[in-house]
Structure formats: C-alpha cells, structure tokens
C-alpha cells in the first residue's frame, strides 16, 4: 500500500509523460496484479489506487527491450537468477497484452 501511495504522489507531482514502470518480481501472478494496479487501479479497492487509473506503461525486467537497456553486468547481477527460473517468453506475452489493453483504453 505504501508503494501505491508513493507512485500516486510521484505521478501527481511529475505527471506520467515519459514515465514507465519496470517490475522485477519472479512471482509473475503478483507482477500481473501490480501491473493491473498501476494501469487501471487497485483491484482489491483497498489501497490508495482504488478506482485510480494511472494508465502507466508497465514492463517486466525480463522483457528483451528492458534487458537491452540495462548494462549486461548489472542485469546479470540483479535479474540473472530470475531469468533462469521464469518463462521469459510468457512474461513478455503477458506484459505486452497488458500494455495493449491500456493503449486501447
């Protein structure tokens, strides 16, 4: 809940233009819920983003575009283990679908 409040405050202060969110959870279902929360609002209606649609573009650290933007040594240190235990292709499909859904409005 605290992170929801921080992100909401950041968007209110800075605007969402040029802002993206990169999630790194190895629990993909949890990452999907976080992605939903940051795009269309808190599905539990319990947090600061209940009913608040930020529409932020969401990426997962395992997506090729994100990986390419991170120095290889940093990526390996921070995400290397996760990339060995998670289906990277499936993660990419799920997060692309989330972004496409948000883009359609």
| Each residue's pLDDT tens digit, 76-99 | 999 998 888 999 999 999 999 988
Give yes or no for a contact between 56 and 8, defined as CB atoms under 8 angstroms apart.
Answer: no
Give tens-digit pLDDT for 58-78. 999 999 999 999 999 999 999
* 14 C-beta neighbours (distance < 10 Å), count: 10
pTM: 0.85
CB 68, CB 31: distance < 8 Å: no
Report CA 42 to chain centroid distance, whole Å: 13
Contact of 41 with 50, CB cutoff 8 Å: yes
**pLDDT digits over 26-40, tens only?**
888 999 999 999 998
């Amino acid at each position: 809940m605290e992170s929801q409040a921080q992100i909401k405050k950041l968007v209110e202060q800075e605007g969402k233009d040029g802002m993206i969110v990169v999630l790194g959870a190895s629990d993909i279902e949890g990452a999907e819920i976080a992605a939903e929360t940051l795009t269309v609002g808190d599905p539990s209606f319990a947090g600061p983003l209940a009913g608040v649609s930020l529409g932020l573009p969401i990426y997962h650290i395992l997506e090729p575009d994100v990986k390419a933007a991170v120095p290889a040594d940093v990526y390996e240190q921070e995400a290397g283990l996760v990339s060995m235990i998670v289906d990277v292709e499936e993660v990419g499909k799920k997060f692309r679908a989330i972004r496409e859904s948000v883009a359609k409005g």
